[in-house]
Amino acid sequence: MAQVTLDAVRKLYPNGHEAVQPSGFTIQDGEFMVLVGPSGCGKSTILRMIAGLEEVSEGTISIGDRVVNDVDPADRNIAMVFQNYALYPHMTVERNMGYGLKNRGMPNAEIAEKVREAAAMLNLSEYLDRRPSQLSGGQRQRVAMGRAIVREPALFLFDEPLSNLDAKLRNQMRIEVRSLQRRLGTTAVYVTHDQVEAMTMADRIIVLNGGRIEQIGTPSEIYDRPASTFVASFMGAPPLNILEACAVGGSVLADGGEQALADANGHSDGALMFGVRPEDVTVGTGPHSFDVEIVEELGANRLLHGKLYGQAFSVSVPKDREARTGPVPVSVRPDMVHLFSAEDGRRL
Amino acid sequence: MAEATLDTPATAPARTRRIRWSVVFDHLILMAGAFLMLAPTVYAFITTSHDAVTIHREGLQLGFGDKMGENFHNAMFVPGGFTQTVDGTLMLMNSFILGIGFALGKIIISMMAAYAIVYFRLRFATLAFWVIFTTLLLPLEVRILPSYEAIQQLGLTNTYTGLIVPLIASATGTFFFRQYFRSVPEELVEAARIDGAGPVKFFIDVLVPLSRTMIAAIFIIMFVFGWNQYLWPTLMTTDESFFTLVRGIKQIVLSYTDSQIPEHGQALALAIVAMIPPVAIVIFFQSWFVKGLTESDK
C-alpha cells in the first residue's frame, strides 16, 4: 500500500521530443487512478517512468516515502500488466505467475500456495498446467493479473490491459479488474485511450493531451465541469457539442444565430466557445431551430445529428420520443452550459 | 481455398486432369533429383559387398557379393592406418566429438554475442555486429596459416580443443540469433525486469527456452558442417587416434598402397557409415528445423 507522488516530472527524449511536460500529482493510497488521452499524449510514458522502465529526465517520483528515480524496477515493489500480456510463452500458467517470487528467493512451497490462492481468485485453478498459447485472450489477461497479484505489490500498473480483448469481454474484465483492485485495496495506475474505461473504472482521472495534464478529477467532475474544450470533446460519448459563439450584451449567441443560447455570466463581449452535452438539450419547444440530418438508433435512446445555426450539433432524445429528419425546435438547459475561451479553449 | 472447394462438383473432371499433369511433372523432377542423389550412394553401398580384388579389377558393382559383413567389420573394428591404432569406431567417435562440440560451441558463442548486441546499449553495437558479419568473407581457408600457427604455438595440435575452438566463432549463427532476438517482444524483457530477473536470469530462463527451435535448427546445420570438416582436421591432427571419419577414409586407402591392392570395400563402407549420422539428425529433427526457421510464435 502506498501513495505515489510525481513532482515536476518531465520526459525529454535525446532527439529533443518532450513526451511529458513538467507535471505533478499525487495518487492516494488505495486509489484507482486512470491516465487517459489520445495516442502520443504521454500517458504510457508516465506509467513507464513510474515503473522504472523509462528514465525520468527531471523531477522526482516517490512511491510511499521513498524517492524511486534511481531504483531498479524490480525493487520498486510494483507489478505491471501489459497490453499484450507479456506472458512467458514457454512457461505454464503456474510458473508464469510464480516467476517473480522465485527470483526473490521465496521457498517453492510458499510460491505454490500464493499462486493457488491467486488462481482461485481469478478462476484459473484448472489452467495452472497450461501454456499461455492454450488459453483464450481473457484467460491470458487473467494470468497477467495473477502474476501481478501474487507479488502483493504496493502499486499496480496497467498499460491498456483490455485493448486486445473483444468488446463484450472487455466490459466484463473492466468490472473484474475494478472489483479485484477494490478487494485488495492496492493503489493502481491505469492507462487507457478509452474514455469509457476511464469513466467507469476510475476513482480519479487524469486527462492528458500532448504531454500536458489537461485536468485531474473524479469522473463526474470531469464530465460535469470539463476544464477545456479538449477534455469536453474527449470525455463522453457522444462528445459535448461545441459551437463557435460570441458574447454580446450579456448573452451568448452562436455565430450565425439570432437567439441567445445562454447567459454570458458576466463575461465581457467577444468570441468564445459554447458547449452543451447532447442530453442537456430539450427537443420540441424552444427558440432554436435544429436541422436534423441523421437519426442514430442506440436502443435506449436516439441520437440526432444535424446543424444548429450552420454548425455541427447532436442531440440525444429518449427512445419513446419520435424523431425524424428536418428542422425541429430545441432549447438548451441553462444550468448545463459550458463556456470556453476562444483563444486557448480553457473553461471560463 | 473455400471457393475452390465449393465449386469442385461442377468442374471436377477438368480440374483433376490439369492438377494431375502438373503433379506428374513435379514428381518427375523430384524423382530425377532423388535418383541423381541416391544412385551413387546405393552403387557404393552395393559395392561394399565385394572384396578389394574384384573392385580393383572390375570397378564398382551393381550386384551384391558376399563380403559386406566382413568389409564393415574390418572397417569399423580392425585397427588400421599407418600406426595400426585407429579403427572405424574411434574415428566415428572423433567425428561425433567434432560435430557436437563444433555445433554446441557455435551456438553458445553466437547466442551470447547476439544477446550482447541486441539487449545491451553498447557503444558501436551495430558496428560490432557488422564487423562480425563481414567475417563471413574470411572463412577458415583464408586464415588457415595464421590459425594453424596460433594453435601450434599454443601446443594445441592433436587435441580436441585445437580441433574445435578455432572454428566456433560464427557470423551466421550470430546473425540468425540477432534477427530472432529482435523479434522477441520488448514487453517480455520489461516483464522480466519487473519480475526481478537480471540479465543472466533473463537469458537462461526466458531467451534460451524461447529460442529452442532456433537452437535446434542451427544445431543441425552446424553439426553437419562440423562433421564434414576436412581441411582443418587434416592440418591439426597428425596423431591417428584423433582422426575423424571424413579424414580417415582416405588414410585407410592410402596406407595399403605399398604392395597391396587398396581396400576399396572398406573405404566405401566407412563412407557409408560417415553419411549416416548427418542424415539421421536431419531426418529426426526435420520438424524442429522447419519450425525454427519459419515459426514466429512468441
Cβ contacts of B190 on chain A, cutoff 8 Å: 51, 53, 73, 80, 82, 86
Measured between CB atoms, does A134 come within 8 Å of chain B? no
What was the pLDDT predicted at B11? 47
How many CB contacts within 8 angstroms connect chain A with chain B?
Answer: 59
Residue among A132, A130, A131, A128 at smallest CA distance from A115 = A128
What was the pLDDT predicted at A159? 93
* Residue B242 DSSP code: G
Measured between CB atoms, does A90 come within 8 Å of chain B? yes
Residue B291 has pLDDT above 60, yes or no: yes
Measured between CB atoms, does B206 come within 8 Å of chain A? yes
Residue A6 has pLDDT above 70, yes or no: yes
Each residue's pLDDT tens digit, A220-260: 999 999 999 999 989 888 889 999 998 888 888 888 777 88
Cβ contacts of B195 on chain A, cutoff 8 Å: 74, 99-100, 103, 147
What was the pLDDT predicted at A251? 85
What was the pLDDT predicted at B4? 44
CB contact under 8 A, B191 and A89: no
CA distance A295 to chain B (A): 39
CB atoms under 10 Å from CB of A180, counted, come to 19
CA distance B132 to chain A (A): 28
One-character DSSP codes across A82-150: -TT----TTS-HHHHHHHHHHHTT--HHHHHHHHHHHHHHTT-GGGTTS-GGGS-HHHHHHHHHHHHHH
CB contact under 8 A, A86 and B193: no
At A201, phi and psi to the nearest 5?
A: -100, -25
Burial of residue A261, with CB atoms counted within 10 A of its CB: 0-12 exposed, 13-18 middle, 19 or more buried: buried
Q: What angle do CA B75, B78, B80 make, to 5 degrees?
A: 80
Q: What angle do CA B161, B163, B165 make, to 5 degrees?
A: 55
Residue B1 has pLDDT above 60, yes or no: no
CA distance B294 to chain A (A): 17
Cα separation, A281 vs A338, whole angstroms:
13
* Residue B86 DSSP code: B
Residue among A288, A285, A284 at smallest CA distance from A274 = A288
Taking residues A286-313, what's their average pLDDT? Answer: 90
CB A290 within 8 A of CB A313: yes
Taking residues B10-21, what's their average pLDDT? Answer: 58
CA distance A227 to chain B (A): 35
Residue A95 has pLDDT above 90, yes or no: yes
What was the pLDDT predicted at A130? 92
CB contact under 8 A, B194 and A74: yes
Residue among A262, A283, A280 at smallest CA distance from A272 = A262
Choose among B187, B193, B298: nearest Cβ to A74: B193
At A24, phi and psi to the nearest 5?
A: -140, 140
Measured between CB atoms, does B208 come within 8 Å of chain A? no
Taking residues A269-287, what's their average pLDDT? Answer: 89
- Interface probe, candidates A50, A90, A134, A155, chain B, greatest B C-beta count within 10 A: A90
Helices H, strands E: what count in chain B? 17, 0
Residue-level length of chain B: 298
Residue among A137, A162, A165, A133 at smallest CA distance from A34 = A162
What was the pLDDT predicted at B3? 42
Going from the C-alpha of A290 to that of each of A116, A156, A257, A315, B207, the distances in angstroms are 60, 47, 11, 9, 62
Taking residues A317-326, what's their average pLDDT? Answer: 84
Residue A281 has pLDDT above 80, yes or no: yes
Measured between CB atoms, does B272 come within 8 Å of chain A? no
Choose among B190, B193, B210: nearest Cβ to A90: B210
What letters, b where the CB count within 10 A reaches 16 and e where it falls short, cover B263-289? bbbbbbbbbbbbeebbeebeeebeebb
Cβ contacts of A52 on chain B, cutoff 8 Å: 193
CA distance A148 to chain B (A): 9
CB B162 within 8 A of CB B236: yes
CB A133 within 8 A of CB A166: no
CB contact under 8 A, A51 and B197: no
* Residue A280 DSSP code: G
CB contact under 8 A, B194 and A133: no
For chain A, the average pLDDT equals 90
Local confidence band at A37 (pLDDT 50, 70, 90 cut-offs): very high
Most confident of A186-195, B8-17, B42-51: A186-195
Local confidence band at B257 (pLDDT 50, 70, 90 cut-offs): low
Measured between CB atoms, does A80 come within 8 Å of chain B? yes
Cβ contacts of B196 on chain A, cutoff 8 Å: 74, 100, 103-104
Cα separation, A47 vs A41, whole angstroms:
12
Cα separation, B251 vs B58, whole angstroms:
23
Residue-level length of chain A: 348
Cα separation, A151 vs B191, whole angstroms:
13
Taking residues B62-68, what's their average pLDDT? Answer: 82
Local confidence band at B128 (pLDDT 50, 70, 90 cut-offs): confident
User: Which range among A47-56, A73-82, B17-26 shows the weakest confidence by mean pLDDT?
Assistant: B17-26
CB contact under 8 A, A99 and B205: yes
CB A3 within 8 A of CB A28: yes
CB atoms under 10 Å from CB of A346, counted, come to 14
Residue B296 has pLDDT above 60, yes or no: no
CB contact under 8 A, B191 and A83: no
CB atoms under 10 Å from CB of A98, counted, come to 26
Local confidence band at B137 (pLDDT 50, 70, 90 cut-offs): confident
Residue B288 has pLDDT above 80, yes or no: no
User: Which range among A101-105, B129-133, B221-225 shows the weakest confidence by mean pLDDT?
Assistant: B129-133
Cβ contacts of B193 on chain A, cutoff 8 Å: 52-53, 72-74
Measured between CB atoms, does B201 come within 8 Å of chain A? yes
The pTM is what? 0.80
Cα separation, A277 vs B25, whole angstroms:
71
CB A190 within 8 A of CB A201: yes
CB contact under 8 A, B297 and A99: no
Cβ contacts of B191 on chain A, cutoff 8 Å: 80, 82, 86-88, 147
What was the pLDDT predicted at A71? 92
Taking residues B3-18, what's their average pLDDT? Answer: 49
* Residue B66 DSSP code: S
What was the pLDDT predicted at B18? 60
Tell me, what's the ipTM? 0.83
Burial of residue B51, with CB atoms counted within 10 A of its CB: 0-12 exposed, 13-18 middle, 19 or more buried: middle
What was the pLDDT predicted at B5? 45
Give the residue, B249 or A208, on which the prediction is more confident. Answer: A208
Hey, what amino acid is at B253?
Answer: V
What was the pLDDT predicted at B17? 56
Measured between CB atoms, does B196 come within 8 Å of chain A? yes
Nearest CA in chain A to B192: A100
DSSP 3-state assignment of A193?
coil
CB contact under 8 A, A88 and B197: no
Each residue's pLDDT tens digit, B207-236: 999 998 889 888 988 999 999 988 888 888
CA distance B287 to chain A (A): 18
CA distance B123 to chain A (A): 16
For chain B, the average pLDDT equals 83
Residue among B298, B297, B292 at smallest CA distance from B176 = B292
